[in-house]
Structure 1
Amino acid sequence: MARKGILGRKVGMTQVFGKNGELIPVTVVDVTPNVVLQKKTKENDGYNAVQLGYADKRKVLSNKPEQGHVAKAKTAPKRFIREIRNADLGKLKVADKVSADIFKKGDVVDVTGITKGHGYQGVIKKDNQHRGPEAHGSRYHRRPGSLGPIINRVVKGMKLPGRMGNNRVTMQHLTVIDADVKDNALVISGSVPGANKSFLMIRSTARK
């Protein structure tokens, strides 16, 4: 199934009112026009994809391979580059621009981003486990508890203290409430991964 997509940056959340007066929480995403940096085909690369670049950066912050790559599209080095697989290659060419009008009101999309990082956390905050009794000398308050049978190793998948957040997550089946071409913005229902100003990839949904 051919997909379409665009890269953007999360601005923040707000709320709008629907036709029936219901309140809808939405996320505003800045989608300053992306530049097509490369087209990949099944014959040359083994799969079909369009590589997009978002947000210019100063030339001094990029190396020569980056500069040579974007020179083919006659554009500046980009901060965020991603591929949209199975994209419709027939209409797009290298150096073309993709803007907010690629989506319209009512489209269903999947949004991919990096979640907020929370550092090194214990199992109560990280995995929503319960604490132990607080009195009578138990000394078991916020510890991870028993690791199970003695097999001289930690079982794979065991919930233990560790890094929380900072993972790539895709929120599926979100609705485009508005596509503002003038202000280069998409208004998407619900929340999307990541902190404000983080980069996002918005694609038409992968499943019906």
Structure 2
Amino acid sequence: MPIGMLGNKVGMTQIFDENGLAIPITIIKVGPCYVTQIKTKLNEGYNAIQIGYAKIAQKHLTKPELGHLEKANVPNLKHLVEYRVDNVDEFTLGQSLTVENLEKGQFINVSGKTIGHGFSGNQKRHNFKIGPMSHGSKNHRAPGSIGAGTSPGRVLPGKRMAGHYGNRKQTIKNLQILEIDNEDSIIIVKGSVPGKVGNLLNISISSKK
């Protein structure tokens, strides 16, 4: 499968192998995704496939969005994502992509937004050590010195300090597919993926064999 697919994180659990070792796994609901647009080098200047995912009510879409999806003869979809491809001849408008396009044992890359933690301090954001916790200490979780005095006399860019933490795109590479459930459109992968339960995930085939 040359292009990716979209899905949602269902949750994490663990299974045990034949040696009794616990293996952390993530359950992901994948697709069905629909091909909503085919872009060619002749018309748009590059080859790409746009896919849609997650059916929603008509009232949540604008008229241009409804017209775009109606042209492709697909349901009302919430998420649209575009992938560059070398050859568009393998795809047709309205084509459905499901977990049947994946194989057990394959390695995939999973992208998603990490859990947001809001404004966080140095200890949580950068794993800094805390100060002495005894009664006389006035520096338990304070940042301490943040730069030199007279020279250069300013805080250098990139200084690790308190600030916004999480809620950013992250990609976990080379996660192996352990099981595929075609009936419920679910895959089980070894390891963890970004985000909390229900998080939107972008799944693509890894180059690892």
Q: What is the TM-score when the length of structure 2 is the normalising length?
A: 0.89
Shift in CA distance, 92/162, structure 1 to aligned 2, threshold 3 Å: same
* DSSP-derived class of the 1:67 partner: helix
How far 1:173 sits from its partner (Å)?
Answer: 0.5
Question: Is the alpha carbon distance of 1:20 and 1:93 closer, same or farther for their aligned partners in structure 2, counting shifts above 3 Å?
Answer: farther
Uncovered stretches (5+) of structure 2, i.e. residues with no partner: none
Q: Secondary structure at the match of 2:159?
A: coil
- For residues 6-41 of structure 1, give each alpha carbon's deviation from its aligned partner in whole angstroms, at most 9, with x where no partner exists: 110111112234455543221111123111111233
Distance 1:136 1:182 in 2: 61
Check whether the contact 2:36–2:94 (CA below 8 A) recurs between aligned residues.
yes
Q: Distance in 1 between matches of 2:119 and 2:177?
A: 35
Q: Within 5 Å, which residues of 2 pair with 1:151-162?
A: 151-162=152-163
Q: Which runs of 5+ in 1 are unaligned?
A: none
Distance 2:86 2:178 in 1: 23
Residues of 2 paired with 1:15 and 1:201: CA distance?
22
Partner of 2:52: 53
- Residues 76 and 114 of structure 1, relative CA distance in 2, 3 Å threshold: same
Pair 1:135–1:178, CA change in 2 (3 A):
closer
Q: How far apart are 1:67 and its partner, in Å? A: 1.1
- State how far apart, in whole Å, the 1-side matches of 2:191 and 2:114 are: 15
Correspondence for 1:147: 146
TM-score relative to the length of structure 1: 0.89
2:34 is equivalent to residue 35 of structure 1: yes
When residues 21 and 135 of structure 1 are mapped into structure 2, their CA distance, relative to the original with a 3 A threshold, is closer
Residues 99/19 of structure 1: CA separation in 2 closer, same or farther (3 Å cut): farther
Partner residue in 2 for 1:188: 189
Q: Identity of counterpart residues, as a percentage? A: 39
Could you say what the CA RMSD is over the residues aligned between the two structures, in angstroms? 2.2
* 1:1-208 alignment, distance < 5 Å: 3-18=2-17, 21-86=20-85, 89-135=88-134, 137-150=136-149, 151-206=152-207
Aligned mates of 2:176, 2:86 — CA distance in 1: 20
> Residue 81 of structure 1 aligns to a residue in which SS?
strand
Counting matched residue pairs gives: 207
Distance verdict in 2 for CA 1:126–1:164, change over 3 Å = same
